[in-house]
A and B are shown apart, each in its own frame.
Chain A
Amino acid sequence: MQGGAAVELIALSKVYGRTVAVDRIDLKIPAGSYCCLLGPSGCGKTSTLRMIAGHEDVSSGDLLIGDAVVNEVPPARRGTAMMFQSYALFPHLDCVDNVAFSLKMKGMPAAERRERARAMLERVHMDAYAARLPAQLSGGQQQRVALARALITEPSVLLLDEPLSALDPFLRDRMREELKRLQTDLGITFIHVTHSQSEAMALADLVVVMNEGRIEQAAAPRDLYNTPRTAFVARFLGGHNVLDLGADGTVAVRADRIALGAADTPPPDADMHRTGTVRSFEYHGASVQISIDLADAADITVVLDESRYFATPFAVGDRVCAGWRHADVHPLRA
């Protein structure tokens, strides 16, 4: 395989009639990185991916893959390959012929292309199912075949449209690991569209959070989680409390950086605190999540280490004091 290519979007827009799906976004995805486009449905992430793939025309702006502007280049000549959300396997072809499809289009003789398709199926551990039709495969198996079909074109950029959303949770975690390993092995650029923040955080080198056709923030997962730029990013990632401090603007405080004490005893090292009532309690195994009803503001969520919590537990309805340090307050842009 030929290694990855960088992808650059310059003021890229997609307009459908009067709806702006993607609104002049700028983004630079380094070669060989794993990039996740993250956002709620309708945020423009899929339109962006489809423009990169060449299945959607660019309304305005430029799209670069490697050093070349590819706005007008047909999909197959961009060095990209797409894995579709529903996998889009050809129902009338067995696994080998599905994988060999692009080679057949290039005019490669049957024996040679089937040989190479079989080798690719082996790579995704599907060689045992080579003669099956897609309808005879499970969702996870179909996905592997779709992956093999995309990879056989030796792309420098692999585009994945919600690849894990159709799988059950157990399989999803396993495929997630495999995708990451595959990307590391191949060294090509992966652009992966998802609405799951945990998926994006687990996989990506670069997470691009999108909302209403714009990029809210593009950063490495750790930077994103520790310094969300906007309230949208903080809320969408979860694990953050977005607090309106009036004149001081809006800030984010991580739920796991808040300590709890009884109503009259603020936690020892807290610089700031609020008093409220415990509204709900969830046990998550390693941690517990408590939601506190503040009379004058939105609820805040506190995540506590489970053993520390059970040393001094609270019941729903108890008055408690939630406190945090100044250093953990992260200001947000409006």
Chain B
Amino acid sequence: MSVTATSTVRPAARPAAADRAAAVRRLGRVVPYLQAAPLTLVLLVFLLVPILTIVVVSFWDYDSIRIYPDFVLTNYQELLGSPVTWKIYLNTLKFTALAWLFTLLIGFTVAYFLAFHVQSLTWQMALFLLCTIPFWTSNIIRMIAWIPFLGRNGLLNQALVGAGVVEQPLEFLLFSDFAVVLAYVHLYTLFMVVPIFNAMMRIDRALIEAARDAGANGRQILWNVILPLCKPGIAIGSIFVITLVMGDFITVRLMSGGQSASVGLVIANEISLLQYPAAAANAVVLLLVVTLMVAALLRIVDIRKEL
């Protein structure tokens, strides 16, 4: 085996043009980093630093008056060792599961109606905007609005008793788990509608025809064509609903009337008692749980093509 080496003769002094070209190349390598810098900075300051702060504080010590910089595991030991924690997590997961189920069913139905039954684009947009009207006011106001409707002497109970459907006013309507889930569904269904509607609008209508041509009936088309193609939209909507409900505290506080608890509510209570390290530990655990849930969802569904 022989190797032939060719040597090129380099000019002693490189021309100025080559130097300039090299400078431009070096700059070309730096430019992408410069372009990414502002967003990196924003994420660093407003996302990464706060999370790191929470993680750090979760290892600090505290008493009823103040908190002490330290490295103790007591916050986590107390949190994970307490049966109350597990009960509250279970309760939060129950709310999340119910809210997810109902927002998915209602959201999918609404999106399906908008995307496939409303024929004109004008009407589609008009009805879609109609769905967003509740968002013109704040969450709290929308929740409070349920109280005069669902209360013991509220509109619904009066109507039911008046119509003779029930003899006694229904007690479970307000300040109950029912009320909490109802509020979640009311607040968050739109977060399901939007991504699913978006996914449905991207489905080539020729696919529906092709399915019908192949002998599929309406239900078969829904199950075999529309649903699989909506999966990324469903996943995105699910991420919205799950993260919102898992972290919520105000809805549980208002709608359960203090009779139910969620992880968010516990954190809020700890903060109001100035037990910041305990709240931080709780927040870190919650963050991990929600991250795992989202990661599991993304393993099942590939949402990249929807972004």
Contacts and interface: CB of A to CB of B under 8 A. Distances in A.
Nearest to B209: A55
Interface string A28-59: 00000000000000000000000001110000
Given A86-B204, A92-B229, A102 B214 contact: yes
B21 interface: no
A81 interface: yes
Interface stretch (B26-34, B87-95, B190-198, B220-228): B220-228
B167 interface: no
A55 B212 contact: yes
Interface residues of B, number: 17
Contacts of B209: 55, 82, 84, 88
B38 interface: no
B211 A75 contact: no
A156 B213 CA distance: 14
Interface string B170-214: 000000000000000000000000000000000010110111111
A319 to B, nearest CB: 55
B229 A76 contact: no
Interface in A75-116: 75-77, 80-82, 84-86, 88-92, 101-102, 104-106
Contacts of B212: 55, 74-76
A55 B213 contact: yes
B216 interface: yes
Contact of A153 (B215, B220, B224): B215
A185 to B, nearest CB: 22
B220 A105 contact: yes
A80 B213 CA distance: 8
A254 interface: no
Interface string B223-256: 0110011000000000000000000000000000
A149 interface: yes
A81 B211 CA distance: 11
B215 A88 contact: no
B210 A105 contact: no
Interface class of chain B by DSSP: helix
A44 B216 CA distance: 27
Contact of B211 (A80, A101, A106, A153): A101
Residue from the set B204, B214, B217, B229 with the largest chain A CB neighbour count within 10 Å: B214
Contacts of A89: 210
Contact of A149 (B206, B214, B229): B214
Contacts of A54: 213
A41 B258 CA distance: 68
B215 A90 contact: no
A110 to B, nearest CB: 13
A75 B225 contact: no
A9 to B, nearest CB: 19
B213 to A, nearest CB: 5
Given A88-B204, A90-B225, A101-B224, A76 B215 contact: yes
A89 B213 CA distance: 12
A89 B214 CA distance: 12
A105 B229 contact: no
A86 B206 contact: yes
Contact of A104 (B217, B224, B228): B224
Nearest to A149: B214
A74 B217 CA distance: 10
A84 B214 contact: no
Given A55-B212, A76-B212, A92-B229, A84 B220 contact: no
A88 B210 contact: yes
Interface string A216-227: 000000000000
Contacts of A90: 207, 210-211, 225
A90 to B, nearest CB: 6
Interface of A: 53-55, 74-77, 80-82, 84-86, 88-92, 101-102, 104-106, 149-150, 153
21 contacts: A75-B212, A76-B212, A80-B213, A82-B210, A84-B206, A85-B206, A88-B204, A88-B209, A88-B210, A89-B210, A90-B211, A101-B216, A101-B224, A102-B215, A102-B216, A105-B211, A105-B214, A105-B217, A149-B210, A149-B214, A150-B213
Given A82-B209, A105-B214, 13 more contacts: A53-B213, A55-B212, A75-B212, A75-B215, A76-B212, A76-B213, A77-B215, A86-B206, A88-B207, A92-B228, A101-B214, A102-B214, A105-B217
Interface of B: 204, 206-207, 209-217, 220, 224-225, 228-229
Q: Pick the 9 closest A-B CB pairs, nearest first.
A: A76-B215, A102-B214, A88-B206, A88-B210, A92-B228, A105-B215, A105-B216, A75-B213, A82-B213
